[in-house]
Amino acid sequence: MSRLAVENRVFGTARWVVIVVLVIVTLFPFYYMVELSFVPIQDLLLNPDRLWVPIQDFTLTTYQNVLKSTADGGQGFAGFMLNSAIVAVSTAIITLVVAIPASYAVARLKFFGQRQVSTLFLAVYLFPVIIIAIPLFVGFSALGIRESLLGLTIVYIAQTIPVSVHMLRSYLKTIPVSIEEAAMMDGASRTRILTQITIPLAMPTIVSTGLYVFMIAWNEFLFALLFLTGDRNLWTVSLGLSQLAGGLEVSKTVLMAGSVLLTVPIIVLYGLTERALTEGLTSGAEKG
Amino acid sequence: MTRSTLATAAPTGGRPRRSISSRRDSRAGLTMVLPTVIIVLAIFIVPLIWNLILAFQSTSFTTIATTGIFNPFTLDNFTGVLTDPTFWASLGTTVIYSIFSTAGSIAVGLIAALALRKPFRGRGLVRSFMLLPYVAPVVAVAFVWQIMLNPQFGIINALGTKYLDWQHPIDFLGKAPYALMTVIVFEIWRYFPFAFLFLTARLLGLPKDVEEAALVDGVTPSQNFRYVVLPQIMPVIALLSVLRLIMTFNKFDDIYLLTGGGAGTEVAAVRVYNQLIGSFDIGGAAANAFVLSAILAGSLFVYVKFFAGRGEDNL
């Protein structure tokens, strides 16, 4: 056989092996999470090597336990989910309100300091988050907003604005300028062009950017840990899960149910926005 | 010519029409961008400067409330950080962790992108699966990994002792050489999708004619990759390496959640956190964080100055 034929055969087979292994490796932890969330802890301890749930062991008490408030003997994840939702939704809305005009300005208008703004945004991602965490902890404590959902939201907005401006700007640049020029000829102001032409045209990207911001805020852990650990009523889902996972009081399969509740909203949103999201994030990469 | 093409042209002065409309645009641009700049300044730049001030002062949580921000300056925090052997140990751990995680995630991402290059039934679905580790909440996946690797009831140890003849369960997250290896594998698992995403996008954008011509000439798949594809995706790999190195160098969540920094996995960011929360040493933590940023900025400067010729515009 020629080298070409050998290589074609080897890579043809290797390709399928790689695909199968990758699918198993990426999906297995999620499968395991869901599997364990439906069994009582004794079953896990008795049969640690089981890869499915026999029907007689199937239970929903893990979910009841994890969702019920602490007053009712549960873990209060329903409350944590509400906190997470409040923070993530407000972050997404406020970030968009601030980032849309900014990305329009960076994409379309020439103004003093335009280049500096882009550099400033890049610089934000070069520093370890922990470096700003120290002063923010001290400063927010002094202002009295450290142990509150408001303080957390402010930090999340600042963290997500640069990436939102990047995603929106890349898209706005693809809208032909001629549309705006025509409106301008008819005497429309910048504000009117932005609200009545650009925003409707960019709506799909705006929605996917907003959902991406929601996902970042929902998943965030460090600042929730620094700011809110002291007050259980304010815990987000991520913080609640990590705090309870460290202890021995709550059984692991109950916390698996908590993990599923933390993960499912993200997977659903990701399923809805996958295409727009991947295109927004990689814009520019295909040009090399 | 319309007014807006004039407005978007560079304001070179000259005719009055141009300067009026470009000045109006300039004002509109500043107004639109101002809220963003204020927020980023207030939450990033001011804290960065403040952090620098704190690093030169002797402060802790008990004193900061009474003394405010104007304290005598001292270099004690920096000498404390630089003469502490655990600082250098954590720096070494961080470097190993960053380099292996970055190289591993890019290598796996590249293999995945190449394997999924040719269309097949269900490719779209497989692609979506590939990105799940990257989008899923870190607290949830770290917790699942902890349970999977648990020596008493974790599935990996259960299968390993049953089918692979392991004498004892392995404490993947609690013993010295394993723990660092495990957190690196976790990081590769979580971030290969990121490399996969960017490399897939780049592979899609490659011009088809070069490869078709090479195929007509009878090149083998490995030659095609080595001489045709790889040179074209090299800039993206270089960019990914820099991005991932920065991100991993600064990483906190993953290691904190998996090991808490124990068993030889205390990377720099976790050390800063433990200094802050464990010993309430604000000045020491600030100096530590500052030294880290300086090291990172220094390495980046060297990289950009001497190695990177292109690719910076594509962020």
Cα–Cα distance for residue pair A207/A226, rounded to 1 Å: 30
Cα–Cα distance for residue pair B94/A209, rounded to 1 Å: 32
Are B195 and B50 found together in one domain?
no
Are B48 and B117 found together in one domain?
no
Backbone phi and psi for residue A250, each to the nearest 5 degrees, phi listed first: -100, 135
Residue B121 lies in a domain: yes
Are B26 and B132 found together in one domain?
no
In chain B, the residue whose alpha carbon lies closest to the alpha carbon of A42 is B153
Give yes or no for a contact between B243 and B105, defined as CB atoms under 8 angstroms apart: no
Q: Which of B2, B3, B33 to mutate to test the interface with A (most CBs of A within 10 A)?
A: B33
Nearest to B129 among A23, A121, A161 (CB): A23
Interface contact flag, A110 B29, Cβ < 8 Å? yes
Tell me, yes or no, if B159 comes closer than 8 A to chain A by beta carbon. yes
Chain A CB contacts of B155 under 8 Å are: 32, 48-49, 51
Which residues fall within 8 angstroms of residue A273, CB to CB, at 6 or more apart? A207, A208, A211, A212
Interface contact flag, B32 A101, Cβ < 8 Å? yes
The whole-angstrom distance between B280's CA and the closest CA on chain A is: 11
Q: Could you please report the per-residue DSSP string of chain B?
A: --HHHHHHS-----SHHHHHHHHHHHHHHHHHHHHHHHHHIIIIIHHHHHHHHHHTS---HHHHHHHTT-----SHHHHHHHT-HHHHHHHHHHHHHHHHHHHHHHHHHHHHHHHTSS--TTHHHHHHHHTHHHHS-HHHHHHHHHHHT-TTT-HHHHHHHHHS--SS---TTTSHHHHHHHHHHHHHHHHHHHHHHHHHHHHHTS-HHHHHHHHHTT--HHHIIIIIIHHHHHHHHHHHHHHHHHHHHT--HHHHHHTTT-TT---HHHHHHIIIIIH--HHHHHHHHHHHHHHHHHHHHHHHHHT--S-GGG-
pLDDT in tens, A6-38: 888 888 889 999 999 999 999 999 999 998 888
Residue B26 lies in a domain: yes
Residue B262 lies in a domain: yes
Tell me, yes or no, if B255 comes closer than 8 A to chain A by beta carbon. no
Return the percentage of chain B with pLDDT > 70, whole number. 86
* CA atoms lying within 13 Å on the CB side of residue A108: 30
Number of Cβ within 10 Å of residue A14's Cβ equals 14
In chain A, the residue whose alpha carbon lies closest to the alpha carbon of B195 is A282
Cα–Cα distance for residue pair B195/B205, rounded to 1 Å: 15
Are B229 and B81 found together in one domain?
yes
Chain B CB contacts of A260 under 8 Å are: 140
Residue B68 lies in a domain: no
> Which residue numbers in chain A have pLDDT < 50?
287-288
Characterize A60-93 residue by residue with b for buried, 16 or more Cβ atoms within 10 angstroms of its Cβ, and e for exposed. Answer: eebbebbbbeeeeebbbbebbbebbbebbbbbbe
Chain A CB contacts of B145 under 8 Å are: 29
In chain A, the residue whose alpha carbon lies closest to the alpha carbon of B294 is A127
Interface contact flag, B40 A44, Cβ < 8 Å? no
Chain A CB contacts of B133 under 8 Å are: 26, 29
Q: Report how many Cβ contacts below 8 Å link chain A to chain B.
A: 307
Cα–Cα distance for residue pair A87/A66, rounded to 1 Å: 21
What is the residue-averaged pLDDT of chain B?
83
* CA atoms lying within 13 Å on the CB side of residue A203: 5
pLDDT at B56 over 60: yes
Chain A CB contacts of B138 under 8 Å are: 219, 221, 238
Residue B66 lies in a domain: no
pLDDT in tens, B148-191: 998 888 888 888 888 888 888 888 888 888 999 999 999 999 99
Which residues fall within 8 angstroms of residue B310, CB to CB, at 6 or more apart? B235
Cα–Cα distance for residue pair A94/A82, rounded to 1 Å: 18
Chain A CB contacts of B287 under 8 Å are: none
The whole-angstrom distance between A172's CA and the closest CA on chain B is: 15
Interface contact flag, A221 B205, Cβ < 8 Å? no
Interface contact flag, A109 B29, Cβ < 8 Å? yes
Cα–Cα distance for residue pair B91/B272, rounded to 1 Å: 11
Tell me, yes or no, if B147 comes closer than 8 A to chain A by beta carbon. yes
Give the pLDDT confidence score for residue B9 in this predicted structure: 43
Give the pLDDT confidence score for residue B313 in this predicted structure: 43
Are B47 and B83 found together in one domain?
no
**Which has more pLDDT, B56 or A237?**
A237
CATH code: domain A70-287 is 1.10.3720.10
Are B146 and B208 found together in one domain?
yes
Nearest to A221 among B111, B138, B157 (CB): B138
Nearest to A130 among B37, B126, B289 (CB): B289
In chain A, the residue whose alpha carbon lies closest to the alpha carbon of B64 is A138
Structure tokens at B260: 């808490």
Tell me, yes or no, if B115 comes closer than 8 A to chain A by beta carbon. yes
Nearest to B139 among A11, A113, A238 (CB): A238
pLDDT at B24 over 80: no
Characterize B56-79 residue by residue with b for buried, 16 or more Cβ atoms within 10 angstroms of its Cβ, and e for exposed. Answer: bbbbeeeebeeeeeebeeeeebbe
Are B102 and B160 found together in one domain?
yes
In chain B, the residue whose alpha carbon lies closest to the alpha carbon of A267 is B136
**Which has more pLDDT, A113 or B41?**
B41
Give the pLDDT confidence score for residue B8 in this predicted structure: 44
Show which of B11, B26, B55 is a domain's final residue: B55
* CA atoms lying within 13 Å on the CB side of residue B194: 23
In chain B, the residue whose alpha carbon lies closest to the alpha carbon of A285 is B202
pLDDT at B60 over 70: no
How large is the average pLDDT for residues B193-211? 89
Interface contact flag, A134 B140, Cβ < 8 Å? no
Give the pLDDT confidence score for residue A285 in this predicted structure: 54
C-alpha distances in Å from residue A263, one per residue of A60, B140, B269: 17, 7, 25
C-alpha distances in Å from residue A208, one per residue of A10, A90, A168, B140, B151: 40, 16, 10, 23, 41
The whole-angstrom distance between B177's CA and the closest CA on chain A is: 22
Q: Which domain holds residue B118?
A: 76-314
Give yes or no for a contact between A105 and B28, defined as CB atoms under 8 angstroms apart: yes
Characterize A259-275 residue by residue with b for buried, 16 or more Cβ atoms within 10 angstroms of its Cβ, and e for exposed. Answer: bbbbbebbbebbeebbe
Chain B CB contacts of A127 under 8 Å are: 44, 48, 250, 293
Chain B CB contacts of A95 under 8 Å are: none
In chain A, the residue whose alpha carbon lies closest to the alpha carbon of B276 is A134
Tell me, yes or no, if B99 comes closer than 8 A to chain A by beta carbon. no
Are B47 and B136 found together in one domain?
no
Are B84 and B218 found together in one domain?
yes
In chain B, the residue whose alpha carbon lies closest to the alpha carbon of A223 is B253
Domains identified in chain B, total number: 2
Q: What's the start-to-end Cα distance of chain A, in Å?
A: 37
The amino acid at A85: A
Tell me, yes or no, if B168 comes closer than 8 A to chain A by beta carbon. no
pLDDT in tens, A169-217: 888 888 888 888 888 888 888 888 888 888 888 888 898 899 989 999 9
Q: Which of A19, A109, A208, A244 to mutate to test the interface with B (most CBs of B within 10 A)?
A: A109
Q: HEC states along chain A?
A: CCHHHHHHHHHHHHHHHHHHHHHHHHHHHHHHHHHHCCCCHHHHHHCCCCCCCCHHHCCCHHHHHHHCCHHHCCCCHHHHHHHHHHHHHHHHHHHHHHHHHHHHHHHHCCCCCHHHHHHHHHHHCCCCHHHHHHHHHHHHHHHCCCCCHHHHHHHHHHHHHHHHHHHHHHHHCCCCHHHHHHHHHCCCCHHHHHHHHHHHHHHHHHHHHHHHHHHHHHHCCHHHHHHHCCCHHHCCHHHHHHHHHHCCCCCHHHHHHHHHHHHHHHHHHHHHHHHHHHHHHHCCHHHC
Give the pLDDT confidence score for residue A275 in this predicted structure: 78
Cα–Cα distance for residue pair A216/A237, rounded to 1 Å: 13
pLDDT in tens, B220-268: 888 888 888 999 999 899 889 988 998 899 899 999 999 988 888 899 8
pLDDT band at B3 (very low <50, low <70, confident <90, very high): very low
The CATH number that applies at residue B115 is 1.10.3720.10
Give yes or no for a contact between B64 and B282, defined as CB atoms under 8 angstroms apart: yes
Nearest to A124 among B11, B40, B65 (CB): B40
Give the pLDDT confidence score for residue B61 in this predicted structure: 61
Interface contact flag, A262 B137, Cβ < 8 Å? yes
Q: Which of B2, B127, B144 to mutate to test the interface with A (most CBs of A within 10 A)?
A: B144
Residue closest to A219 by CA, chosen among A65, A64, A78, A91: A91
Chain A CB contacts of B129 under 8 Å are: 23, 26-27
Place of tokens 């290059």: B117
Give the pLDDT confidence score for residue B67 in this predicted structure: 58
